[in-house]
Amino acid sequence: MTRSPRLALLALAALCTSCASGERPRPTPGAKNAPEPAPWEQSNPVRPLPVPPLGVAADLADLEFRATPAKVRLGRWLFYDPRLSADGTVSCATCHEPAHAFSEERPVSTGIRGQQGRRKAPPILNAAWPVFPAFFWDGRAGSLVEQAKGPMANPVEMGNTHQGVVLTLRAVGGYRPYFGEAFGDERVDIDRVAEALAAYEATRLSGGSAFDRFDAGDERALSPAAARGRDLFFGRARCSACHLGPNFTDGRFHDLGVGWRPPPPGRPLEEGYADAGRFEATGRPADRGLFKTPTLRDVSRHAPYMHDGSQATLGEVVAFYQRRGEASPHLDPEMARTDFRPGEIDDLVAFLLALDGTGFADAPPRLFPR
């Protein structure tokens, strides 16, 4: 910094000269007085885009919303920043916790002021490459960017408005340069916030599991029990009728009878659904009780299971399939075809455990722009 008043005046004069000539003074690269990086940058530096782990054919640079390193860095701050919620207490990561594969260990989510939602937060893994672009358990959002706008304005999640989010972020001067870096100018709007969030989410990958190594030719990667489970999963048990492809989901909607109870005698069977599921997105009566097939990647890390968190363990889930679900009115015909003996439940669970991978680990940045 310039200390002496004479030097300060000289500097001012130099500034004015460049003003008059219509040029901005340019910082000299490597100059001693180049601005120090803000203290919060240390906990969230620009990093190269991650190399996808084995089994995940993901091209981050090829996404519609172009996940550049600068956008991912901005999105990482936003994802963990509770200032996006109405009362500054809840961030995306409150419900999507890194340690639980960006899902949670509660049956349903808790948002601002301790409000309980009615569904469980799904994991966010390999999320930018859906087989069928539909997000949420009922598929009501058509893209990851559109999805990200939902929770901020959901009264029981972050309880804010989009305008509220934008005004809050505009008031944080420290955020502006990162919007500039990511988008070319410093304007803050909700589409940019959502795009940056989606870019960060897209970098949370899962692959390199024992299953992926086995698939790539390493026959010893699976234990004998997991190998038997694999044969069942893709064979007699017919799990892969719905859990298919690299992410173990068809991205489609099915009724397994989860959360359905027989209604009182004389009432329509449809009244037995506690949650209308896909019906809420389409309004089609046949969609009542259908939910999106979830990914099974890192499934061991976020019990309890299903859209309502009603099943406590993987053993319980597999036993549910062994019973062929619940006799709900829209029960998927595939449920009648699953075929395995109770003794084979352990093998299927061993296979599910072999889907634990790497590529998503993270922790909240320690400091945020101010």
Q: What are phi and psi of 273, to 5 degrees?
A: -80, 125
Residues 335-354 that bind ligand HEC (CB under 6 A): 335, 338, 348, 352
Q: Which of 60, 128, 210, 256 binds ligand HEC (CB under 6 A)?
A: 256
CA distance 15 to 160: 43
Does 137 participate in binding ligand HEC (rule CB under 6 A)? yes
- Whichever of 33 and 116 has its CB closer to ligand HEC, that residue is 116
Minimum distance from CB of 28 to ligand HEC (Å)?
A: 40
Does 281 participate in binding ligand HEC (rule CB under 6 A)? no
Q: Which of 294, 359, 364, 369 binds ligand HEC (CB under 6 A)?
A: 294
DSSP 131: S
Burial 5-30 (b: 16+ CB within 10 A, else e): eeeeeeeeeeeeeeeeeeeeeeeeee
Tokens 């795009």 belong to residue: 195
Q: Pattern 305-324, binding to ligand HEC, x per CB under 6 A?
A: xxx------x--xx--x---
For CA atoms 178, 69, 192, 23, the dihedral sign is positive
Quick one: which H or E segment has residue 193? helix 190-202
- Whichever of 11 and 188 has its CB closer to ligand HEC, that residue is 188
Residues 47-86 that bind ligand HEC (CB under 6 A): none
Q: Which of 166, 206, 196, 204 is nearest to 66 (CA)?
A: 196
User: Which pair of structure tokens corresponds to residue 43?
Assistant: 């906990």
Tokens 């003074």 belong to residue: 25
How many residues touch ligand HEC (CB under 6 A)?
Answer: 53
CB-based contact 255:330 (threshold 8 Å): yes
Does 188 participate in binding ligand HEC (rule CB under 6 A)? no
Q: Pattern 93-122, binding to ligand HEC, x per CB under 6 A?
A: -xxx------------x-x-----x-xxxx
Does 364 participate in binding ligand HEC (rule CB under 6 A)? no
Terminal C-alpha separation, the chain: 22
Alpha-carbon dihedral 7, 9, 15, 21, rounded to 10 degrees? -120
Task: Using CB atoms within 10 Å of the CB of residue 264, give its burial: 0 to 12 exposed, 13 to 18 middle, 19+ buried.
Answer: exposed
- Assign 50 to helix, strand or coil: coil
Which residues have a catalytic role annotated? 157
Minimum distance from CB of 70 to ligand HEC (Å)?
A: 18
- CA distances 189 to 173, 176, 207, 245, 353, Å, are 14, 11, 34, 36, 41
Does 157 participate in binding ligand HEC (rule CB under 6 A)? yes
User: Which pair of structure tokens corresponds to residue 284?
Assistant: 């089609």
Integer-rounded Cα Rg, in Å, for the chain is 25
Residues 202-231 that bind ligand HEC (CB under 6 A): none
Q: Which of 90, 169, 345, 355 binds ligand HEC (CB under 6 A)?
A: 90
- Whichever of 70 and 199 has its CB closer to ligand HEC, that residue is 199
Q: Which of 211, 165, 187, 182 is nearest to 54 (CA)?
A: 211
Q: Which of 145, 169, 182, 242 binds ligand HEC (CB under 6 A)?
A: 242
Whether omega for the bond prior to residue 264 falls within 30 degrees of 0, making it cis, is no
Does 239 participate in binding ligand HEC (rule CB under 6 A)? yes
Minimum distance from CB of 180 to ligand HEC (Å)?
A: 21
Minimum distance from CB of 124 to ligand HEC (Å)?
A: 5
- Whichever of 122 and 246 has its CB closer to ligand HEC, that residue is 122
Minimum distance from CB of 158 to ligand HEC (Å)?
A: 5
Minimum distance from CB of 306 to ligand HEC (Å)?
A: 4
Q: Which residues bind ligand HEC (CB under 6 A)?
A: 90, 92, 94-96, 109, 111, 117, 119-122, 124, 127, 135-138, 147-148, 151-152, 157-158, 197, 201, 237-239, 241-243, 254, 256, 258, 291, 293-294, 296, 299, 305-307, 314, 317-318, 321, 332, 334-335, 338, 348, 352
